[in-house]
Structure 1
């Protein structure tokens, strides 16, 4: 298992995340609707809106998992926030970064992962909107476009929180 590198802008990224005052907050319908729609649209059992904290990934919204968080060291989303675009892993067992990851070899048995970075206009990626399946799969161009649109909706909601916090 390969632990993701720390982003070069980690201090600024964490400051932006903490400024939102969103970590460890209750579920919110605006985020829950997005993950519910994504689960149906992509026919995947697990969808999360994940925020990457110092040592953990925390789920602001989730469907298909009872987990509220996992360690950042085993987080596939920690790899996705390093990307400019969506990180798609068609089969985790065929990817050396993830083949022996405990989230792959054990529950929830991740075989497919697509993580769209939640990147603010300041180029700070706070987390991901991610799709997870227990079987290998691919996404076509139209599906990638839909995932980008849903990701943009999450970022818009995060920006709305930021504007309220700044007011």
Structure 2
């Protein structure tokens, strides 16, 4: 199924996850190692499609962390929910003159499953690449590649949820500290009746932070 992509919203979703330009992480390295072994390819990538580049969260078999977006196979792959397969790039008019085909890494076979966030926006792909063409890529292999992509998105969503919870906890802690400081100031400056009313007001605010 073709994805209806609002590019500004897609990029906002991508940036929200805070993954771009981060270091390699073993959880993602493990996924690309396993994928390369399962599919028998020398290259396996977790590629995120930015405004003008594709950036690799994991890049097994490559020595670069990014390439220009306008030559990326993944730009084509994020337009659809299905796995995007190129069996022989030299025989595909879209890619036969592509510098990634005519030069290093000499892409011939490509299969990429889109990384689709919960809001429906594609972030990039989980892809496997071979330097030799392949006659077929079975439906079972496509489903498996989608599972790898789904695992990546699950990790992204989990990390975002953890960051959000930590941010809320910090905000609540700061709110409690502010309330305690206000209580101390009121106790020093207010007569008893006014102090009681002010304390009740602050206690209500503290309960709202729970």
User: Is TM > 0.5 for Structure 1 vs Structure 2?
Assistant: yes
- Aligned partners of 1:111, 1:129: CA distance in 2, in Å? 17
2:185 matched residue in structure 1: none
Higher relative contact order (CA 8 A, sep 6+): 1
- CA shift at 1:19, angstroms? 1.0
Q: 1:39 aligns with which of 36, 40, 43?
A: 36
Q: So what's the TM-score if we normalise by structure 1?
A: 0.93
1:130 corresponds in structure 2 to 127
- Which residue number in structure 2 is paired with residue 73 of structure 1? 70
Unaligned runs of 5+ in 2: 166-210
Please state whether the residue corresponding to 1:146 is helix, strand or coil: helix
- Are 2:96 and 1:99 equivalent residues in the alignment? yes
1:149 corresponds to 2:143: no
Gaps of 5+ in 1: 1-6
How far residue 9 of structure 1 moved from its aligned partner, in angstroms, is 1.0
Please state how far the C-alpha of 1:155 moved relative to its aligned partner.
Answer: 1.2
Distance of 1:161 and 1:37 partners within structure 2: 21
Instruction: Name the residue aligned to 1:28.
Output: 25
Q: Which has the higher helix share?
A: 2
Contact residue 5 and residue 121 of structure 2 kept, 8 A: no
Does the alignment pair 1:14 with 2:11? yes
Deviations 1:24-76, CA, capped at 9 Å, x for gaps: 10011111110000000011000000001110000001110101100001010
Superposed CA RMSD: 1.1
Q: C-alpha distance in 2, partners of 1:11/1:162? A: 20
Flag the structure with higher strand content: 1
For residue 55 of structure 1, the aligned residue among 43, 48, 52 is 52
Residue in 2 aligned with 1:158? 156
Deviates more, 1:137-146 or 1:48-57: 137-146
**TM-score, reference length from structure 2:** 0.74
Q: What number of residue pairs does the alignment pair up?
A: 161
SS at match of 2:156: helix
Once the two structures are overlaid, the 10-residue window that deviates more, 124-133 or 155-164, is: 155-164
